[in-house]
């Protein structure tokens, strides 16, 4: 039997020896930057690759292909591992012409030299006026380039169980202070009832709340990123939720979108949901028995500041190596501004459009049966116009989000405060940018 | 009694340990290549090359020309990534966490596996193949599926177990900050006990029956046979399962990663492998490679250290 042990030992030593031999390879030299993109139409038929994660997008693409025999689009669903797939394709030099990229991942991918600037195409620059303002400032990085076209957004609002509110004599909160007062009353009336839940593992959601309070965490100027995650505005939001947690007014044991979360709502344990436009179908589809009990109202505001926040949403980016920019711009513009395409994407994929005209789609101006036939999309459309256009994401957002989540989870478990999580996120932002050799400094 | 055990080992050494020497006048090179290629080609392609690539990556650092959105490139950075690993307290916290996990979970699991293997090996037990298959069954369940299944049993919202415990006045919190490590350990134990049992059981099966007869004639009880003949003889199997378990513990990923979906008490850096994954998903492949290499080195040191220690003790 000791032979088995010896054999394993030999295999391991052999493997270790092999790694040493291969370690002798040299690292690649810096490559030249891609030359400026031009916008010449191609001759003859063109086929574009388009990667996305939107359910039902194949039908939208089929419609385009039927109408445009010379610009054919092949799509691939990459929802299994969106950024892993895109990142690997980039490394292999095999990126598609167009790919779906979330707003918060745009700076990170641009830092990896993932995009081409389509601003040489007049159709691309002309599209600016067709989109909700904040979305365009994200896809142009606040400059004149066009690296992506906005597709959908997640303007935030407050989902309210009107029956629970009525039963407990609560009024719809207009400010966060009123919301906290409602939370207090609700807890007094029934200790098993919470106004909402705080998911410490959901940095995207928390970032939406920071966005609402004009906490501009990143700014790019003088050839440097200015990292200001720990601003007074962020701290105000952090302290607010810390107090709700300390007073046991919000649940901290539910993960967003989990079966457990729906179970808590199903059992009438939670009275509101601070959510985005795309959440409307989540509740409709997962909690069918609560039809007619929900209403959607504007986000509570921070005093006189009437701003709203955004949570999620995506763009369709022009990827590096794109040799058919002219055709890509044509398809991308149609995909994200044409009423027929937008209506399909809304119906099949639940997308809430980034195009201003899209907000007036017939499907988005009708009452929704689940929500008492209320015109809930009017609330989201209004929210959409009140989102800070100067807000920018950082170039290492994923790493920062993880650091924020880990520290928020500690705070929710009673170790530290949410403001400590902001410090952790600030430190993680500076360190990860240093690791990627991205010039950065702390402060405004 | 010790002489029974010594005699037993000697008998095994004489019967099972005998080896045939290869005949001289070696076969032609072509035959060797034909037999070895099916092994060595995938071994090199899917094992040596990736490991070598990771090692190479771990010595690189990212640099950038042309400011923020300039072009990035990698260059040789010596031990810079390793210095960062050693300064990363999250990394050492995860090693400590997993160390505690291993010290508690591995002995419990292997002890249970050994008891089950010994029970299966006694002539007293009926319906052996039923018990053998039942005990082994969890191993047939993929780790992720097992973790999802258990996460439903741990969840206070959905679990019948939690409801039951609450019914008798307990307030269990399987996903709490202190409990969640042991909830993950429980999933690992459930998954792997049957597997380890089977390795030990097959070692028991290869012990010649004459030994037991001899022991019985010498007046050994069933208890003595189990602990003083069977266990010493299958010691190499127990060592092997321990080494596998040490490696498995250091590479723990699936169970905590699944439980993380429902418990915020599992951080993104909960285990060394989760930390490496988090760093890689943040686009810092060089640092992730260095972390992986350090995990590998720690795994080598611990498994070889354990083997050395035990093989000297056991005189193997």
Q: Are B308 and B315 in contact (CB under 8 A)?
A: no
Question: A-chain residues within 8 Å CB-CB of B76?
Answer: 27
The dihedral through the CA atoms of A164, A169, A175, A176 has a sign that is negative
> What is the extent of the structural domain holding A403?
156-310+390-442
Q: How far is A103 from chain B (nearest CA, A)?
A: 16
Does A324 lie in the same domain as A220?
Answer: no
Helices (H), A213-306: 232-246, 259-266, 279-286
Q: Residue A104 to residues A22, A69, A86, A310: CA-CA distances in angstroms?
A: 37, 34, 15, 11
Q: How high is the mean pLDDT of chain A?
A: 89
- The string of pLDDT tens digits covering residues A358-381 is 888 888 988 999 999 999 999 999
The helix/strand/coil state of A381 is helix
Residue identified by tokens 């179970």 is A263
CB contact under 8 A, B283 and A259: no
Q: Are B1 and B230 in contact (CB under 8 A)?
A: no
Does A74 reside within a domain? yes
- The string of pLDDT tens digits covering residues A174-188 is 999 999 999 999 999
Cβ-based neighbour number of residue B81 at 10 Å: 23
pTM score, two decimals?
Answer: 0.85
Question: A-chain residues within 8 Å CB-CB of B234?
Answer: 1
Option in A108, A253, A439 nearest B67 (CB): A439
Does B272 reside within a domain? yes
How would you class B85 by CB atoms within 10 Å of its CB: exposed for 0-12, middle for 13-18, buried for 19 or more? buried
Question: B-chain residues within 8 Å CB-CB of A396?
Answer: 282-283
Q: The domain spanning residue A324 has which CATH number?
A: 3.40.190.10
How would you class B199 by CB atoms within 10 Å of its CB: exposed for 0-12, middle for 13-18, buried for 19 or more? middle
* Final residue of a structural domain among A384, A404, A427: A384
CB contact under 8 A, A225 and B68: yes
Does A261 lie in the same domain as A138?
Answer: no
Q: Quote the CA–CA distance of B213 and A196 in Å, as a whole number.
A: 70
- The string of pLDDT tens digits covering residues B293-303 is 999 999 999 99
The two tokens of residue B120 are: 């299966």
- Give the pLDDT confidence score for residue A27 in this predicted structure: 35
Phi and psi at A2, nearest 5°, equal -60, -20
Does A165 lie in the same domain as A281?
Answer: yes
Radius of gyration of chain A (CA): 24
* Final residue of a structural domain among A358, A384, A410: A384
Element (H, E) at A27: none
Option in A15, A29, A260 nearest B157 (CB): A260
CB contact under 8 A, A258 and B304: no
CB contact under 8 A, B64 and A22: no
User: CA geometry: angle at A68 spanning A63 and A72, to 5°?
Assistant: 85
- The string of pLDDT tens digits covering residues B120-179 is 988 777 888 898 889 889 999 998 999 999 999 998 878 888 888 888 888 888 988 889
Share of chain A above pLDDT 90, in %: 78
Does B69 reside within a domain? no
- Give the pLDDT confidence score for residue B314 in this predicted structure: 59
Tell me the mean pLDDT in the region A191-200: 95
Q: Quote the CA–CA distance of A191 and A247 in Å, as a whole number.
A: 11
Tell me the mean pLDDT in the region A25-38: 43
Q: Quote the CA–CA distance of A83 and B282 in Å, as a whole number.
A: 10
- Give the pLDDT confidence score for residue A22 in this predicted structure: 38
Q: How far is B120 from chain A (nearest CA, A)?
A: 21
Does A169 lie in the same domain as A194?
Answer: yes
Does B59 reside within a domain? no
Option in A9, A201, A396 nearest B264 (CB): A201
Tell me the mean pLDDT in the region B28-51: 91
Q: Quote the CA–CA distance of B187 and B156 in Å, as a whole number.
A: 17
* Final residue of a structural domain among A384, A401, A419: A384
- The string of pLDDT tens digits covering residues A267-304 is 999 999 999 999 998 999 999 999 999 999 999 999 77
Residue identified by tokens 């891609």 is A34
Option in B49, B68, B316 nearest A22 (CB): B49
Tell me the mean pLDDT in the region A51-74: 96
Does A61 lie in the same domain as A143?
Answer: yes
Q: How many domains does chain A fold into?
A: 2
Q: The domain spanning residue B131 has which CATH number?
A: 1.10.3720.10
Low-confidence winner among A308-317, B61-70, B266-275 (lowest mean pLDDT): B61-70
Q: Are A13 and A95 in contact (CB under 8 A)?
A: no
> What is the extent of the structural domain holding B282?
80-314
Does B121 reside within a domain? yes
Q: How far is B52 from chain A (nearest CA, A)?
A: 4
Radius of gyration of chain B (CA): 25
- For residue A113, pLDDT over 60 is answered with yes
The helix/strand/coil state of B170 is coil
The two tokens of residue A141 are: 């990085």
**Whose CA is closest to A436, among B273, B287, B57?**
B287
- For residue A305, pLDDT over 80 is answered with no
Q: Are A305 and A209 in contact (CB under 8 A)?
A: no
Does A322 lie in the same domain as A287?
Answer: no
Q: How far is B37 from chain A (nearest CA, A)?
A: 16
Option in A18, A25, A111 nearest B69 (CB): A111
Band of residue A209 on the pLDDT scale cut at 50, 70, 90? very high
**Whose CA is closest to A107, among A436, A441, A442, A427?**
A436
Higher pLDDT, B239 or B310: B239
Predicted ipTM of the assembly: 0.81
Q: Quote the CA–CA distance of A232 and A56 in Å, as a whole number.
A: 43
Residue of chain B whose Cα is closest to the Cα of A32: B71
Chain centroid to Cα B144, Å, comes to 16
- The string of pLDDT tens digits covering residues B2-19 is 444 444 444 444 444 444
Does A355 reside within a domain? yes
Does A146 reside within a domain? yes
Q: How many domains does chain B fold into?
A: 1
Q: Show Cβ contacts of residue A419 under 8 Å, excluding neighbours closer than 6 positions.
A: A230, A235, A238, A239, A242
Instruction: Enumerate the β-bridge partners of residue A276.
Output: A156
């Amino acid at each position: 039997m000791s032979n088995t042990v010896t054999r394993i030992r030999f295999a391991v030593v052999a493997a270790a020896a092999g790694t040493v031999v291969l370690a002798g390879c040299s690292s690649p030299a810096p490559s030249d930057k891609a030359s400026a993109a031009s916008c010449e139409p191609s001759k003859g038929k063109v086929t574009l690759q388009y990667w996305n994660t939107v359910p039902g997008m194949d039908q939208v693409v089929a419609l385009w292909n039927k109408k445009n025999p010379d610009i054919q689009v092949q799509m691939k669903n990459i929802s299994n591992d969106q950024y892993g797939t895109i990142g690997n394709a980039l490394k292999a030099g095999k990126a598609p012409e167009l790919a779906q990229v979330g707003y918060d991942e745009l700076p990170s991918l641009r830092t990896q030299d993932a995009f081409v600037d389509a601003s040489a195409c007049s159709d691309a620059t002309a599209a600016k006026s067709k989109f909700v303002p904040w979305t365009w400032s994200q896809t142009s990085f606040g400059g004149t380039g066009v690296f992506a076209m906005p597709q959908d957004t997640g303007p935030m609002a407050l989902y309210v169980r009107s029956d629970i509110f009525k039963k407990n004599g609560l009024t719809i909160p207009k400010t966060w202070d009123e919301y906290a007062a409602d939370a207090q009353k609700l807890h007094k009336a029934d200790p098993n009832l919470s106004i909402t839940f705080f998911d410490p593992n959901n940095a995207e959601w928390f970032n939406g709340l920071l966005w609402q309070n004009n906490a501009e965490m990143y700014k790019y100027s003088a050839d440097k990123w200015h990292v200001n995650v720990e601003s007074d505005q962020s701290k105000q939001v952090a302290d607010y939720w810390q107090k709700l947690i300390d007073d046991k007014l919000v649940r901290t044991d539910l993960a967003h979108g989990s079966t457990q979360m729906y179970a808590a709502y199903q059992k009438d344990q939670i009275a509101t949901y601070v959510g985005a436009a795309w959440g409307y179908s989540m509740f409709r589809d997962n909690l069918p028995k609560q039809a007619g009990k929900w209403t959607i109202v504007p986000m509570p505001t921070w005093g006189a500041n009437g701003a709203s926040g955004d949570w999620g949403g995506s763009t369709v980016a022009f990827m590096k190596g794109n040799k058919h920019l002219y055709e890509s711009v044509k398809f991308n513009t149609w995909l994200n501004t044409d009423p027929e395409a937008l209506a399909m994407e809304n119906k099949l994929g639940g997308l809430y459009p980034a195009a201003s005209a899209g907000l007036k789609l017939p499907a988005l101006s009708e009452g929704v049966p689940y929500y008492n036939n209320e015109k809930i999309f009017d609330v989201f459309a209004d929210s959409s116009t009140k989102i800070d256009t100067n807000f920018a994401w950082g170039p290492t957002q994923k790493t920062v989000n993880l650091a924020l989540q880990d520290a928020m989870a500690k705070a929710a478990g009673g170790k530290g405060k949410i403001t400590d999580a902001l410090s952790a996120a600030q430190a993680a932002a500076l360190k990860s940018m240093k690791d990627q050799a991205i010039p950065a400094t702390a402060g405004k | 009694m010790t002489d029974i055990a010594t005699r037993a080992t000697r008998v095994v050494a004489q019967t099972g340990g005998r080896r045939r020497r290869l005949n001289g006048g070696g076969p032609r090179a072509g035959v060797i290549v034909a037999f070895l290629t099916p092994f060595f080609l995938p071994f090199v392609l899917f094992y040596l090359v990736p490991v070598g690539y990771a090692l190479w990556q771990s010595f690189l650092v990212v640099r950038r020309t042309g400011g923020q959105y300039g072009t990035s490139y990698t260059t040789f950075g010596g031990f810079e990534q390793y210095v960062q690993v050693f300064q990363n307290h999250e990394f050492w916290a995860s090693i400590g966490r997993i160390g505690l996990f291993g010290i508690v979970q591995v002995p419990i699991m292997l002890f249970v596996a050994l008891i089950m293997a010994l029970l299966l090996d006694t002539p007293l037990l009926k319906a052996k193949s039923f018990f053998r298959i039942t005990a082994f069954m969890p191993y047939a369940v993929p780790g992720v599926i097992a973790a999802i299944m258990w996460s439903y049993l741990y969840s206070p919202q959905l679990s019948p177990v939690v409801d039951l415990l609450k019914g008798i006045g307990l307030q269990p919190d399987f996903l709490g900050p202190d409990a969640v490590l042991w909830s993950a350990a429980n999933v690992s134990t459930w998954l792997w006990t049957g597997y380890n049992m089977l390795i030990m059981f097959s070692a028991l099966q290869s012990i010649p029956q004459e030994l037991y007869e001899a022991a019985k004639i010498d007046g050994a009880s069933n208890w003595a046979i189990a602990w003083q003949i069977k266990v010493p003889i299958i010691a190499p199997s127990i060592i092997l399962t321990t080494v596998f378990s040490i490696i498995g513990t250091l590479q723990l990923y699936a169970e905590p990663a699944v439980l993380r979906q429902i418990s915020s008490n599992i951080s993104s850096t909960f285990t060394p492998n989760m930390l490496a994954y988090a760093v890689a998903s943040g686009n810092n492949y060089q640092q992730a490679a260095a972390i992986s290499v350090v995990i590998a080195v720690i795994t080598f040191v611990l498994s070889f250290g354990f083997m050395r220690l035990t093989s000297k003790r056991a005189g193997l």
